[in-house]
Amino acid sequence: MTSIDNKAFSRRDLLALVGKAAGGAAMYQAMTSLGFAAESGYTGPPKLDGARRGASVLILGAGLAGMVAALELRRAGYKVQILEYSGRAGGRCWTLRGGDVFAEMGGAVQRCEFAKGEYLNPGPWRIPYHHHAVLDYCKRLGVALEPFVQVNYNALVHSAKAYGGKPQRYRHVQSDFQGYVAELLGKAATQGNLDTALTREDKEKLLEGLRKWGALDAQMRYRESALTSDRRGYETDPGGGLMPLAKPSRPLELGDLLQSGLWRYIASGQEYEFQSTLFQPVGGMDMIAQAFQREVGSLIRYHAKVTKIAQDERGVTVTYTDDAHGGAVTQARADWCLCTIPLSVLSQLDVQVGDAMQQAINAVPYDASIKIGLQFKRRFWEEDEAIYGGISYTDLPITRISYPSTRYGAKGKSVLLGAYAFGPNAYEFTAMTPQERVRRAVEQGSQLHPQYAREFDNGIAVGWHRVPWSQGCYGLWTDESREKHYRNLCQIDGRIALAGEHASYIPAWQEGALLSALDAIERLHARAVS
């Protein structure tokens, strides 16, 4: 805190410092500039009036972007057909349940052995409250939602290098870090170091706020007390009758806490996309895909592997192999084409578009990601540790453990998300066999929950850059690549338009996929009727 001692702070500086400690406003501003945190601009389905009789659109990909486009285009009067590589609809909106079989690139085959009612969402698993398009279509299509617990103050934060590898409660780290920051700011204010920046009334209000925010005592200290224990929890909880008296808990030492690095995890729930309330579909994320499929399933041709996209002044011709009929080479033709194929795959195909769009298609790499679902014989996290939903964080390669936000207290087997990692950690895991990935997840998770080894039943692991129809998790834009290529990617090229999460400022989210598709078909329609 030497910077506080040596220079005057403006109100902006002070609020920025508090914001960093709290993890909210500064993170939101940074994320907004990168295009990750902008609130959805959705106001309702597009009005596509005046479609010409017999006009046709060919859609490539039956993910959410493709299906929402098909739904609205057909409603407007277009003749629509969808070509889908796999044998199911939904794309990355995908849920694995007992009996499902998944074959990844490289030939490894996994069979899901989860108990009835248990599942893993390998792709999207939560919906923020401000993703208005996803929520609206869930309402329109009758998809039941339930709360998704992002932050559980009784979950764990863990570092193999801190506190002897012993996990700490989220609430302990958050309360103690916040309290010590409040104490240090309070000292700076009471010692007069902020007099040039704050009026006397400002300072009084600041100190009052810091006392409440940090659970400080009358001397502006963060100390073991009933006040701090009301934030971080008690050593012995208050009881009734002649039960033992409540005993306050002892805060972690400031130096140890700072060195642990565990404070990095406690701001996650303050990031814009993870603020309450979040939702999940009852029964699995693919309830959304199934709802769309009920509407447009008759338009989908499955097992259609696109190999070439050509266009002329009259329309678009797509060549594909029909894997449902022995790999026969077939063509489909329409007046217009909306392509939602991930750029990781599209960049490998023969696509007849201009240089600007082709360069944009080739410019966007895809991030690697892995999710590992682990089934256990019982809900030990609830029964033994009172963790109901939420996420625990660790510096081990598994990165985090997410507990189910549904069916609390259920008896019998249950599935949790035993790993969710990106980048190098994801590549490390998928260099292993699926069985080894699961074994490593159990091994690492045991450092947070010793019950893992004796309670483990079975597991399944999905590495997105090994999924044939995606070959990556999401489009990995940079500021520079967006500046150079984004508009070229989203412009209509002749009779071809692109859509998907990669063609949005909300990458990796279903909201981005829906918004990009709705925007693309609105512009495509305008061109078609002009």
Partner residues linked to 414 by β-bridges: 376
**Pair (230, 255) in one structural domain:** yes
- pLDDT on residue 268: 81
Strands (E), 25-181: 56-60, 79-83, 96-97, 101-103, 109-111, 119-120, 127-128, 145-148, 156-158, 168-169
Is 65 within the bounds of a domain?
A: yes
In-domain check, residue 412: yes
Whether 401 maps to a domain, the answer reads yes
Regarding whether 490 and 360 lie in a shared domain, the answer is yes
Question: Stretch 518-525: mean pLDDT, rounded?
Answer: 96
Contacts of 30 (CB under 8 A, 6+ apart): none
Single residue among 444, 466, 488 that ends a domain in this structure: 466
Q: How many CB atoms within 10 Å of residue 271? A: 18
CA 146 to chain CA centroid, Å, is: 17
* Cβ–Cβ < 8 Å for 515, 506: yes
| Contacts with 367 (C-beta within 8 Å, 6 or more apart), sequence order | 422, 423, 472, 473, 474, 476, 508
pLDDT 10s digits, 302-354: 999 999 999 999 999 999 999 988 999 999 999 999 999 999 999 999 999 99
Residues 315 and 336 in one domain: yes
Report which listed range, 172-181, 227-236, 241-250, 513-522, is most confident: 513-522
Question: Does residue 44 sit within a domain?
Answer: no
Give the C-alpha separation, 4 to 8, whole Å. 7
In a domain, 429, yes or no: yes
Residues 256, 309: one domain?
no
Domain residues for the domain of 338 are 56-90+290-364+477-529
Task: Quote the mean pLDDT of the chain.
Answer: 90
- 268 found inside a domain: no
Q: Return contacts of 484-489, CB within 8 angstroms, 24+ apart.
A: 484/363, 485/359, 485/360, 485/363, 485/364, 486/360, 488/356, 488/357, 488/359, 488/360, 489/357, 489/360, 489/361, 489/364
Element (H, E) at 278: strand 278-281
The yes-or-no verdict on residue 197 having pLDDT over 80 is: no
> Are both 125 and 176 inside the same structural domain?
no
Is the pLDDT score of 208 beyond 90?
no
**Residue 487 confidence (pLDDT):** 96
Inform me whether the pLDDT recorded for 160 exceeds 60.
yes
Q: What is the CATH number of the domain that holds 191?
A: 1.20.1440.240
Query: What is the number of domains present in the chain?
Result: 3
Q: Are strands 304-311 and 156-158 parallel, antiparallel or unpaired?
A: unpaired
CA distances from 345 to 84, 307, 469 (A): 13, 10, 7
pTM for the full predicted model: 0.87
Measured distance CA(306)–CA(94) in Å, rounded: 21
Is 177 in the same domain as 249?
yes
**CATH for 342:** 3.50.50.60
pLDDT tens, position by position, 293-308: 999 999 999 999 999 9
Model confidence at 411: pLDDT above 90: yes
Alpha carbon separation from 249 to 168, 173, 448 (Å, rounded): 13, 13, 21
* Listed residue (48, 127, 193, 162) closest to 529, CA to CA: 48
- Residue 198: inside a domain: yes
Indicate whether 380 and 462 sit together in one domain: yes
Q: Pairing between strand 369-376 and 400-403?
A: unpaired
Give the end of a domain, one of 466, 497, 521.
Answer: 466
The pLDDT of residue 39 is 57
Residue corresponding to tokens 């030497």? 2
Query: 496-498 and 336-339: which strand pairing?
Result: parallel
Which structure tokens are listed for 226?
């009933």
Question: Is there a single domain that holds both residue 60 and residue 188?
Answer: no
One domain, residues 410 and 522? no
- Asked if the model's pLDDT at residue 26 lies above 80, the reply is no
Residue 121 belongs to domain with CATH number: 3.90.660.10
pLDDT confidence bin for 42, thresholds 50/70/90: confident
Environment class of 6 (CB within 10 Å of its CB; exposed 0-12, middle 13-18, buried 19+) = exposed
Pairing label, strands 400-403, 390-394: antiparallel
Q: Are residues 489 and 348 in the same domain?
A: yes
Residue 18 has a pLDDT of: 46
Q: Tally the residues of the chain.
A: 530
Q: CA 249 to CA 234: how far, in whole Å?
A: 5
Q: Is 508 found in the same domain as 416?
A: no
40 pLDDT band, cuts 50/70/90, is low
Mark whether 121 and 168 lie in a shared domain: no
Look at residue 270 and tell me if it is in a domain: no
